[in-house]
Structure 1
Amino acid sequence: MTLGFYARFEPHTRTDELAQGLAARVYDPAWLLARQWQVGEFDGDNGGSPIRVRHVGRTYRCDTYSDHGGSGELGTTPVEARAEAVPERWARHTRIEIGRALARALRAVGLADRVAEVIAAFPLADGDDLVTGRVPDGGKAYAALSGPLRKDPPEFPSVTPGQGLAEAGERWLKFCDGLIGPPGQAWDARRMEYGFSLHAPGLPLPARAHSGGTPEWWTFDAAAPRAKGDAMPYDKTTIATRVTFHGMPVPRWWQEEDAVVDFGAVEAHPADLARMAMLQFALLYGNDHFAIPVSLPVGSMFETTHLLVTDTFGATTLIAPSTRAGGAERWTMFTLSLATSDGVAEVFLVPPTALQPLSSDPVEDVLLARDEMANLAWAVESVIEGPDGRPVRRAEQHHTPPTTQSPKDGHLAYRLGSTVPPHWFPLTPQRTSTGDVPEYAVEAMAHSAEVPRGDFLQLGALVDDDRLPREGRRLLRDHLLARTTDGGTVVWTRRRTRIGRGETASDLTFDATEHSS
């Protein structure tokens, strides 16, 4: 039986005197040269720095998107706009904006006389504004015209046929498609998360538990270790640059380190393995890391096939992917996990996401929280979208002023149970057929006709127990505007989930007495 041991030598000072070390005296230069020859520094073994790197690989385009509703070409639309888009609720301001666009499209092709006919065909309901009777209802017009106008040849029903209507309809549909995208089918209301996939040639990339927001590379998994299909070759030769960070040790004598970061002041407990590993990297191996730039198109997946490094001694080394190293030496970063095993795929993903999208204030805010005192869980509709598209706080709609009655002015009355605000809906546990995963059902309070008014909650909807942690969960819905890769705009409404604010207290009590006049 053979046992292997590893030894590492580190310099440690025996005294606090620094004069001799700072002097850096060399007593025997000949011995130093002989020592360099003995350890092989003159042969270039483990002593050279990389100066030239040849990077060879393949680039695959991610051009197909799929979710629960089917699959199709992704095009220039950001992936989150396809996955997160919810059906349009057609608030009054949206109906007015779409109606105005239809009137502008008719005037742009010289059909201003047809605007009155369109307004009569799609009248806008009465409201407290000045546009009623002056613009058509965009929601009604879109429901009636979007399908016929997309036919070949296009049709413009509900209006007397004439020249120019098809051109006006094409202009109007282009505006509508930028404002009202197709709704996605990736949202799982029971799990309160998204499930969708990107597809590279021969390699699906599923995102099975996306909570909303910008998808990053770690959102996706890979169905296989590598892609198989058409790829664009990549072969670039460049110069490697040293990775630098604040406070790193410098390789030259008499050069002071950056004082912004003081690694010597970091306190690490013996069990703080992550902190100790960070210090070891910074103090011992900080000078051993180099980087090269790699330009990749958005919405692509890259696979490295060869990495050839030439050092200052002229030696060329072939570096294999770190994922192929076994045992304790295996290290990987920015690689996708395999969807069916514990391995990783040798690919790097740049998902086709929106760059710096503009978001609105939440138009819907629902809090799911546990109430240990009442032995219940609650779904609280804090904010809902009003008829005009603006957020409305439900607590302000049902505010009850505090009582000013003194106890001596009335008498005690018995109450079987207290009530909760109308926008609080109990989540009652349900018995499942399999009994594996408990679930909650959204219900209404007894003797209450109040129903959820938002997009997240419906009476009878089920929520899995593991999706309601002790910290609770917050459900948000807002509007976003972003640019597509061809310079256009896309608008969509998204759902997203965040960790809640902890347990709540409904003050629900039973068998209580209160003062009554």
Structure 2
Amino acid sequence: MAIDNFKQVFDEKLLSAITMWNRLEARPRADDFDRVLNAEVRDPLWMLTKQWQMGEFKGEDAGSPAFAKVQLATTRITKYQAANNAVQTYDDEVPLEAKVEQKKLQFEQAGSKTSLDIRLLMGRQWLKLIKMHPNDLRKEYIERYPFELPDPEDKSQATTVAHPEAWQLSMAIAGRSMDGYTFYKYLKENPAHKASDTIVNSGNQDLDELGEKFVKWYETLFLQPEEEKNNAWDPSRMEYAFEVSAPEGNAKKTMVADEYYHGHLDWYNLDVAPNNGELEMNETGNLPQNVQSRETRSFFPVPVYFDGMPDTRWWKFEDGRVNFGDIKPDTTDVNKLLFMEFGLVYANDWFIVPLTLPAGSIADIRGLSVTNVFGEKLWIEAAGKGLDDDWKRWNMFALSRKGEQRQPADNSLLVLPTVEKIQQGKPLEEVYFLRDEVANMVWAIEKKVPLSTGSPKPGGEAADELHGFYQKILDRSLGNANAEENKPNYQAKIRYEIMNSVPENWIPFIPVQTSVSDTEIQLQRASMPRILENDNPENIEKVKPRTQILRDGLDLLQIKPYFIHEEEVPRAGIRVFQNFQRARWYNGKVVNWFGAGKQTGRGQGHSGLAFDRTVDVKKD
């Protein structure tokens, strides 16, 4: 049948058809595939022309770097200031974390001895030092610096007698062991005090030399701050604050850490403070000289290699043990996204620039000169130039500027003298700050309380034992018969209660106005009454905190109030703790210190505190 109009036939599908496909397959003539996989090119010129046709010669990464030079300006940290204390010359004898975080060990609380474990350790060390002395002086030193047995009826010794473990240790060491801290305190309070004072048959001056050795041993064992120089802890914010400075040309660069509490100190904890000025030293110190340098280093760029990176050779597969496709970044995980882009897109475009800097250095890259394989020379400056608050600016490991806006960005690299790993002991003290909207106050709950033995105890158990001890003292003073007579005999089914109480490990912080403004408030430490059965209302005492975190100002000769900035306790609350920490410095020296940390809490809570209510009368 002749078809006059093929287009009409196909458009209107006037004729049915069957479509068939044929597949062209290769027929190998050998079992060896090596030659096929070699991907041999018969005409290289044809490949080059196709690259030219597709525009591949216009790529920005056409030339690989062959030689490079970098201009580097460096300086060193020379001054250090802890909080608002005196400025001092910076030295790297200990890690910067230890210098910043160190806190005083507490050996006394409310007239009672604490840290018995360290007192015993110091006493054993001194008795070991004098073991080889010609005269046996062990008994004399134990009698001269003894441990006294607490009086079970003395309320001032309640924190020791109320707890079985503390009372048992006190009975075991009383009259048998030496109080090493009392001996150390005697040697330090007056330069004229010697180890041989009041000791009969002390011999020659060898004993006094051993005393100096003992003092040096303890001060090396535990890093202790001098209050006027090294105490960086800010109790009102429960954070550390410090400043460091370094010479920069004819001026000084000052870097400030206003709120450090993370436990790992690094460059991101500090900000450049151009308006703070130079740290002025009141004392004459020998500052390091010639800490600034400017040099040009030449090197051969070395490509970056890592497991699983895409291989640039044809038919060669990457390491299958690394699976970039299994990375599941969140929408805010910018670092993961950059890492994936680096590993999958620009894997062979990164080169290593080896620059070795000593700890405590500040490096500023002036520029990088790169010569590629085509002989072209390129001058590369640091990324992130411009204004510090420009949201389009991007760089990594750079310091932020503190203060006014529209400030030029600081692209220097800070290498702090810190350690990579710190061994941390279990918390000796632990306090949870939480908001109680019903009672309209903040509570500081002592979750872990240090006993006089030097070991922690759950705050709830310690509070119950202490409350029970005071109740027993009161009952014995009134007499059992008198106590029963004074016990009220309620006839009604309900009674009026002015207020109830909370456990003794709950310390209240009440809002008060600041002295600066009537619209601003701070949180002031307050006290709950210790309510005992059959107690005279005129003799009711106030419950005081037992952790060093909350006792700021209580152990002074003149008691001072303790204030916390209201914004430091968010709705989620905070957890503050203190523990022993240990690190090994790069010279092999082991450093031990007692420090604090802060973390986010677990939310709000309710203490159950209530006023002016009626309660059911419990019948015996």
Partner of 2:543: 450
Identity %: 29
Over 3 Å counting, the alpha-carbon distance change for 1:515 and 1:112 in structure 2 is: same
2:599 to 479, 498, 506: 498
Once the two structures are TM-superposed, the CA of residue 173 in structure 1 deviates from its matched residue by 2.0
| Structure 1: gaps spanning 5 or more residues | 1-18, 401-409
Once the two structures are TM-superposed, the CA of residue 391 in structure 1 deviates from its matched residue by 0.2
Partner of 2:394: 331
Moved more, 481-490 or 355-364: 481-490
Q: Distance in 1 between matches of 2:148 and 2:94?
A: 33
Q: Distance in 2 between matches of 1:296 and 1:25?
A: 49
1:441 to 524, 536, 549: 524
| Structure 2: gaps spanning 5 or more residues | 1-24, 26-36, 108-114, 150-168, 279-288, 466-491, 532-541, 555-560
Partner of 2:615: 513
Give yes or no for contact 1:472–1:503 (8 Å, CA) kept in 2. Answer: yes
Q: 1:190-339 maps to which residues of 2 (within 5 A)?
A: 190-201=236-247, 202-224=252-274, 230-232=291-293, 236-243=297-304, 249-256=310-317, 260-263=322-325, 283-324=344-385, 330-339=393-402
Partner of 2:183: 141
Q: Deviations over 1:182-224 (max 9, x none)?
A: 3232111111111112333333322111015121111112235
Normalising by structure 1, what TM-score? Answer: 0.80
Q: Does 2:64 match 1:64?
A: no
Partner of 1:422: 504
Q: Does 2:451 match 1:386?
A: yes
Over 3 Å counting, the alpha-carbon distance change for 1:204 and 1:508 in structure 2 is: same
Give yes or no for contact 1:414–1:514 (8 Å, CA) kept in 2. Answer: no
Give yes or no for contact 1:418–1:508 (8 Å, CA) kept in 2. Answer: yes
Matched residue SS, 1:374: coil
Moved more, 167-176 or 272-281: 272-281
Q: 1:34-49 maps to which residues of 2 (within 5 A)?
A: 34=49, 46-49=61-64
Q: 1:337-348 maps to which residues of 2 (within 5 A)?
A: 337-341=400-404, 343-348=408-413
Give yes or no for contact 1:475–1:498 (8 Å, CA) kept in 2. Answer: yes
Partner of 1:11: none
2:615 maps to amino acid:
T
Once the two structures are TM-superposed, the CA of residue 361 in structure 1 deviates from its matched residue by 0.6
Partner of 1:186: 232
Over 3 Å counting, the alpha-carbon distance change for 1:133 and 1:301 in structure 2 is: farther
Over 3 Å counting, the alpha-carbon distance change for 1:23 and 1:470 in structure 2 is: farther
Partner of 2:584: 483
Once the two structures are TM-superposed, the CA of residue 321 in structure 1 deviates from its matched residue by 1.6
Once the two structures are TM-superposed, the CA of residue 339 in structure 1 deviates from its matched residue by 3.0
2:69 to 29, 54, 58: 54
Give yes or no for contact 2:329–2:337 (8 Å, CA) kept in 1. Answer: no
Once the two structures are TM-superposed, the CA of residue 354 in structure 1 deviates from its matched residue by 3.4
Moved more, 76-85 or 431-440: 431-440
Once the two structures are TM-superposed, the CA of residue 72 in structure 1 deviates from its matched residue by 2.6
Over 3 Å counting, the alpha-carbon distance change for 1:455 and 1:309 in structure 2 is: same
The aligned length equals 482
Give yes or no for contact 1:337–1:343 (8 Å, CA) kept in 2. Answer: no
Normalising by structure 2, what TM-score? Answer: 0.68
Matched residue SS, 1:365: strand
Q: Distance in 1 between matches of 2:568 and 2:212?
A: 44
Give yes or no for contact 1:242–1:287 (8 Å, CA) kept in 2. Answer: yes
Over 3 Å counting, the alpha-carbon distance change for 1:486 and 1:279 in structure 2 is: closer
Q: Does 2:142 match 1:119?
A: yes
Q: 1:126-165 maps to which residues of 2 (within 5 A)?
A: 126=149, 128=170, 130-146=172-188, 148=190, 155-156=194-195, 158-159=197-198, 162-165=204-207
Once the two structures are TM-superposed, the CA of residue 359 in structure 1 deviates from its matched residue by 1.6
Over 3 Å counting, the alpha-carbon distance change for 1:328 and 1:416 in structure 2 is: closer
Partner of 2:476: none
